[in-house]
Every structure is written in C-alpha cells, then in structure tokens.
Amino acid sequence: MSPQATIILASTSHYRAALLRRLLEHFEQAAPGTDEFAIEGEAPAVRAARLAEAKARAVAATRPGAVVIGSDQVADLEGTVLDKPVTVHAAHKQLAASSGREVVFHTAVCVVDLRGDATTHVDETRVRFRELSTEDIARYVERERPLDCAGSFKCEGLGIALFERIDNEDPTALIGLPLIATARLLRQAGVVLP
C-alpha cells in the first residue's frame, strides 16, 4: 500500500476512534450517512455484518484511494435486539430486561481496500448480567448516561460492575471495534502495522 493512502473510519463514534488510535496514529473519520434499518427475520450477526459493510462502502464510494473501516454492533437478548436506548426510560427498561440474563453482542468490522474489495469479520461476546435492582439500575444510568450504547451500558466504565461474566476472544469488541480482527483486516488490505 502506498504510504500516502488515507485510512478512514466510517464512524463519528469517539469510542471507536479511541480504540482505533491503539493501532493507527493517523486516520480520518467520516459519517457514513447510512440508514441502520432492520430487516425482519435477519439474524443479529448478519445485521451487524451488513451494516458494517454498508457504512464502509458508503464512505469508500465518496473517497476512492482510501482504505475504509466500518463497524456495527448488535446486542441480542434471547432474540430481542437491544438498540441504543436514546432515552433514560429505555435504558432502565433494557437493563431491567437484561438483569440475571445473558446478552450476546455481535460486533462486526469491515475493511474496504484500495481495490474496493470488502472483507468482514463478526466477533461474538457473551455477557452475563448480575441480578440488578431498580436502585442499581437508576444509580448506574444516572452516573454513566449510557444512552448511546447498545444494551445501555459502557463496559469500559462503571458498566463492568453490572456483570457476572464476559466471554469473548477480543475484549475490545464489546466497546465497539474488535481490534484483533481490525488489525488482521488492515494488514490484508496492505496497511503496515506492528
């Protein structure tokens, strides 16, 4: 890959940008402007992969000559998708539903290379929530305000106290960008990494 090739994160998420800075010193961010619609009957992992690729391709279409990274995360509570709550009420409701149960997070990353070829990986993280009281949930939501996070928590902050267990291969996936897979896909696209 040319040393001048631009790398773009197809996201305005500061969580994903902070993660990507672990791998890269220089990259741009661009809003993909994609509609994150659901397709009835679509499996959560398939939805995450589809949306990650759609984001990467949307930005790549406007920036030829760049390597573009797209990502998406879908939280699945026994068949129910937990989107970003947006409101305090919705966050309380999601956390109450997750109490004592397992939520599976499907975090997809897609890299579109200089030729326009897309490669996608989906990481799966299983999170077992401890039993949460109404007071636990209220204190947590008040302190963290996790309204922009799928599943209504921030595992990189106080959200870790809500869990009994996390099972995964890549701890960064739960934050929103699986760096092990991202590094592999970037290397395949010709990006030089350690």
Model confidence, pTM: 0.91
Known catalytic membership, residue 72 = yes
What tens digit of pLDDT does each residue of 77-95 get? 998 999 889 999 999 999 9
Whole domain around residue 44: which residue ranges? 6-188
Residue 157 within a domain: yes
**Nearest 10 degrees: CA dihedral of 183, 112, 125, 80?**
170
What tens digit of pLDDT does each residue of 145-190 get? 999 888 898 888 898 999 999 999 999 999 999 999 999 999 999 9
Closest CA to 9 of 150, 184, 170, 186: 186
Confidence of residue 1 (pLDDT cuts 50, 70, 90): low
Residue 193 within a domain: no
Residue 169 within a domain: yes
What tens digit of pLDDT does each residue of 10-25 get? 999 999 999 999 999 9
Structure tokens at 59: 């930005």
Total domain count for the chain? 1
pLDDT at 58: 97
Residue 101 within a domain: yes
Residue 140 within a domain: yes
Residue 111 within a domain: yes
CATH of the domain at 180: 3.90.950.10
